[in-house]
């Protein structure tokens, strides 16, 4: 493409998607995310960048997802998906940020500079898959994405409303057809097909009950489960709530993030004691389980709990296959409950790696194992299997003795049921249901595997959240200077105390996490550490108070 044809980049910007705000915006933990009305020019420019990325990757398909996940309705966002269905390579985040922030007048020249810098061959074809969540602002932003792609002569393909993981899956399949068919239907066939297949091998037993309630967060995940529900036989009886009708608002007092953060059940669900409920987030890439007990208290089964359930069962199947040369590991973040880490290392005897918050960090670390199970406590996670694992298990499924074949065939179903590209609420839901069924367990038995330490998360608003720096997978604070000392001192007063602070990557706040032997102590510790952040890192607004 000769440089003169970059003129159209400016023309589209000027006429259709002008930059109307001077607020600096950054490609954060999960792309750009802010008020939807500040995003149109950003999404248009990401359409341009997706084309360049596709060309740098030799014309392989790139994904663009329009979503603000668990944020409330007025927000929106955009993130790019790399050819293997993974998050955008980190070194491009800075390029994305630069392109998003230049003025319209400088857009053409900056685009030209980036083309040179990344060495994009503009004569190559470029392909971009575009998906969006259910927000009313999403179609407009998706249209801006399409314009960005067209402006640089790429080929956009719109998937309409899909979960974030469905789009990741389709991108991966488009670039690697051994993984599956790059359509929403192809996704259902693979994941739900594997679930049906495993359920033919493991009949309902023990205390497992096929009824599952789901809180859809009034987002896209529930809608897709409603499609799936109609194709299920008696393997699973899905009862869906918060599907977006009846005035229910996206993520408002419902959904996985609400349930995990507030430690409260969502509104909109008709609760029955001891009935297991799965709660999804707004774009369907997170899931947590919970139930209400006979005292009407909520018992949460979060990402840590799902990770241990899956890892425990996979380990059992590997043993059944008689393989010892495949290394399984679990990846967590500092938010993982201390009790879960202890259970994994001491009872399951599986090694644990702790990394910084954000899916890309977990995913990357998980790839270093033959079987890498990764989960954030907030319910985002999946399992990745190496080629060696897949070929070994396939071989045993054919050639092993009867017992080995049985375990290997179950494991093959689990592998097919897994969306390995990214954490996926729908895929995780079927995995959890498969394992609970295989074990014949109800929620209380699942809960009994270990006991969570009580914990609390709080937010503190400060002048500049980047004044907080951390190290050691965010478990240690290096700036402001005296803060870590103060945290250590506060923590030392509490039995089983642990606390850390970090600047949020998605909101303009500092997050505080604390756990301790009792809920009261966890609440107190979190509040005391919040005060320390407020005092030492330039708190604004009211100083946090410590509960009596």
Quick one: which of 380, 439, 456, 498 contacts ligand 16G (CB under 6 A)?
A: 380
Please report how close the Cβ of residue 442 comes to ligand 16G at its closest, in angstroms: 29
363 binds ligand 16G, rule: CB under 6 A: no
137 binds ligand 16G, rule: CB under 6 A: no
Say if residue 296 is exposed, middle or buried (CB neighbours under 10 Å; 0-12, 13-18, 19+): exposed
Could you say which of Mg ion, ligand 16G, none residue 283 binds, taking C-beta under 5 to 8 angstroms by partner kind? Mg ion
Which segment (217-225, 304-312, 376-384, 530-538) binds ligand 16G by CB under 6 A?
A: 376-384
Kindly tell me which of 283 and 523 has the beta carbon lying closer to Mg ion.
283
Buried b (16+ CB within 10 A) or exposed e, 161-185: bbbbbbbbbbbbbbbeeebbbbebe
Q: Smallest Cα–Cα separation from 159: which of 179, 174, 178?
A: 174
Cβ atoms < 10 Å from Cβ of 20: 10
Judge whether 371 and 101 are in contact, CB under 8 Å.
no
Residues with active-site annotation:
69
Q: Where are the beta strands (DSSP E) in 1-154?
A: 32-35, 62-66, 75-81, 127-132
Quick one: which of 265, 282, 358, 539 contacts ligand 16G (CB under 6 A)?
A: 358
**CA–CA separation, 260 vs 532, rounded Å?**
24
Please report how close the Cβ of residue 504 comes to ligand 16G at its closest, in angstroms: 3
**CA–CA separation, 74 vs 62, rounded Å?**
26
Q: Smallest Cα–Cα separation from 418: which of 165, 202, 219?
A: 165
Could you say which of Mg ion, ligand 16G, none residue 378 binds, taking C-beta under 5 to 8 angstroms by partner kind? ligand 16G
Secondary structure class of 533 (helix, strand, coil): helix
Please report how close the Cβ of residue 461 comes to Mg ion at its closest, in angstroms: 23
The two structure tokens encoding residue 444: 């209380």
Q: Which residues pair with 459 in a beta bridge?
A: 511
Q: Smallest Cα–Cα separation from 132: which of 65, 86, 79?
A: 65
Binding flags for ligand 16G, 21-50, as an x/- string (CB under 6 A)? --------xx--------------------
Could you say which of ligand 16G, Mg ion, none residue 419 binds, taking C-beta under 5 to 8 angstroms by partner kind? none
Please report how close the Cβ of residue 301 comes to Mg ion at its closest, in angstroms: 18
**CA–CA separation, 29 vs 47, rounded Å?**
19
Please report how close the Cβ of residue 281 comes to Mg ion at its closest, in angstroms: 4
Q: What angle do CA 224, 72, 161 make, to 5 degrees?
A: 30
Kindly tell me which of 41 and 380 has the beta carbon lying closer to Mg ion.
380
Could you say which of Mg ion, ligand 16G, none residue 506 binds, taking C-beta under 5 to 8 angstroms by partner kind? ligand 16G
Kindly tell me which of 187 and 335 has the beta carbon lying closer to ligand 16G.
335
Residues that bind Mg ion (CB under 5 A): 69, 281, 283, 285
Q: Smallest Cα–Cα separation from 381: which of 269, 285, 256, 495?
A: 285
Which segment (188-196, 357-365, 434-442, 470-478) binds ligand 16G by CB under 6 A?
A: 357-365
Kindly tell me which of 466 and 492 has the beta carbon lying closer to ligand 16G.
466
Please report how close the Cβ of residue 366 comes to ligand 16G at its closest, in angstroms: 13
Judge whether 345 and 386 are in contact, CB under 8 Å.
no
Q: Smallest Cα–Cα separation from 191: which of 492, 417, 441?
A: 417
Cβ atoms < 10 Å from Cβ of 112: 13
Binding flags for ligand 16G, 171-200, as an x/- string (CB under 6 A)? ------------------------------
Q: What angle do CA 418, 424, 425 make, to 5 degrees?
A: 110
- Supply φ then ψ for residue 8, to 5 degrees: -65, -25
Please report how close the Cβ of residue 377 comes to ligand 16G at its closest, in angstroms: 9
Could you say which of ligand 16G, Mg ion, none residue 376 binds, taking C-beta under 5 to 8 angstroms by partner kind? ligand 16G
Quick one: which of 40, 108, 376, 428 contacts ligand 16G (CB under 6 A)?
A: 376
421 binds ligand 16G, rule: CB under 6 A: no
Q: For every residue of 91-134, which 3-state class applies, written as one string?
A: HHHHHHHHHHHCCHHHHHHHHHHHHHHHCCCCCCCCEEEEEECC
Please report how close the Cβ of residue 21 comes to ligand 16G at its closest, in angstroms: 22
DSSP string over 224-260: HHHHHHTT--TT-EEEEE--S-TTPPTTTT-SHHHHH
Could you say which of Mg ion, ligand 16G, none residue 215 binds, taking C-beta under 5 to 8 angstroms by partner kind? none
Quick one: which of 511, 512, 523, 526 contacts ligand 16G (CB under 6 A)?
A: 511
Residues 491-510 that bind ligand 16G (CB under 6 A): 504-507
Residues contacting residue 299 through CB under 8 Å, at least 6 positions apart: 290, 291, 292, 293, 443, 447
Kindly tell me which of 69 and 242 has the beta carbon lying closer to Mg ion.
69
Please report how close the Cβ of residue 102 comes to ligand 16G at its closest, in angstroms: 25
Please report how close the Cβ of residue 526 comes to ligand 16G at its closest, in angstroms: 15
Q: Report how many residues bind ligand 16G under the rule CB under 6 A.
A: 14
Judge whether 33 and 68 are in contact, CB under 8 Å.
yes
Kindly tell me which of 109 and 504 has the beta carbon lying closer to ligand 16G.
504
Kindly tell me which of 161 and 359 has the beta carbon lying closer to ligand 16G.
359
- How distant is the alpha carbon of residue 543 from its chain centre? 32
Q: What angle do CA 110, 67, 467 make, to 5 degrees?
A: 65
Binding flags for ligand 16G, 66-105, as an x/- string (CB under 6 A)? ---x------------------------------------
Could you say which of Mg ion, ligand 16G, none residue 30 binds, taking C-beta under 5 to 8 angstroms by partner kind? ligand 16G
458 binds ligand 16G, rule: CB under 6 A: no
> Footprint of ligand 16G on this chain (CB under 6 A)?
29-30, 69, 357-359, 376, 378, 380, 504-507, 511
């Amino acid at each position: 493409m000769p440089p003169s044809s970059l003129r159209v980049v400016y023309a589209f910007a000027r006429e259709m998607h002008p930059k109307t705000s001077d607020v600096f915006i950054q490609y954060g933990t999960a792309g750009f995310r802010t008020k939807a009305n500040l995003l149109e020019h950003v999404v248009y420019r990401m359409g341009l960048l997706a084309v360049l990325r596709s060309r740098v990757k030799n014309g392989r398909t790139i994904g663009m997802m329009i979503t603000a996940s668990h944020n409330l309705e007025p927000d929106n966002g955009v993130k790019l998906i790399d050819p293997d269905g993974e998050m955008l390579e980190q070194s491009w985040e800075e390029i994305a940020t630069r392109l998003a922030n230049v003025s319209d007048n400088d857009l053409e020249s900056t685009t030209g500079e980036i083309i040179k810098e990344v060495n994009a061959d503009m004569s190559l074809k470029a392909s971009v898959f575009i998906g969006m969540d259910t927000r009313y602002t999403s179609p407009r932003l998706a249209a801006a994405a399409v314009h960005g792609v067209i402006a640089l002569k790429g080929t956009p393909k719109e998937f309409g409303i899909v979960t974030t993981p469905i789009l990741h899956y389709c991108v991966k399949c488009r670039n690697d057809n051994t993984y599956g068919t790059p359509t929403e239907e192809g996704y259902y066939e693979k994941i739900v097909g594997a679930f049906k297949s495993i359920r033919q091998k493991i009949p309902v037993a023990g205390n497992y009950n096929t009824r599952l309630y789901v809180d859809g967060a009034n987002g896209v995940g529930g809608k897709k489960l409603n499609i799936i529900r109609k194709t299920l036989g008696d393997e699973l009886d899905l009862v869906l709530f918060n599907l977006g009708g009846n005035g229910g608002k996206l993520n408002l007092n419902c959904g996985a993030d609400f349930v995990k953060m507030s430690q409260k059940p969502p509104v909109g669900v008709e609760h029955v004691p001891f009935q297991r409920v799965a709660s999804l987030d707004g774009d369907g890439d997170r899931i947590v389980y919970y139930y209400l007990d006979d005292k009407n208290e909520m018992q949460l089964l979060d990402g840590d709990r799902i990770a241990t359930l899956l890892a425990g069962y996979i380990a059992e199947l590997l043993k059944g296959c008689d393989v010892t040369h495949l290394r399984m590991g679990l990846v967590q973040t500092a938010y993982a409950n201390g009790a879960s880490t202890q259970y994994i290392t001491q009872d399951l005897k599986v090694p644990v790696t702790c990394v910084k918050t954000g899916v890309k960090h977990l995913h990357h670390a998980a790839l270093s194992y033959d079987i890498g199970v990764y989960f954030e406590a907030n319910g985002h996670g999946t399992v990745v299997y190496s080629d060696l694992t897949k070929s070994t298990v396939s071989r045993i499924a054919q050639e092993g003795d009867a017992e080995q074949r049985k375990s290997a065939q179950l494991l093959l179903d689990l592998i097919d049921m897994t969306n390995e590209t990214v954490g996926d609420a729908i895929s995780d839901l079927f995995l959890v249901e498969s394992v609970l069924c295989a074990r014949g367990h109800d929620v209380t038995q699942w809960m009994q595997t270990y006991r969570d330490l009580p914990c609390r998360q709080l937010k503190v608003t400060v002048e500049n959240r980047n004044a907080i720096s951390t190290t050691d997978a965010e478990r240690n604070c290096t700036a402001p200077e005296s803060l870590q000392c103060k945290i250590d001192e506060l923590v030392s007063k509490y039995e089983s105390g642990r606390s850390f602070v970090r600047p949020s990557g998605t909101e303009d706040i500092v997050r505080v996490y604390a756990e301790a032997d009792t809920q009261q102590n966890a609440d107190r510790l979190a509040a005391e550490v919040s005060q320390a952040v407020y005092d030492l890192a330039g708190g604004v607004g009211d100083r946090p108070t410590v509960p009596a």
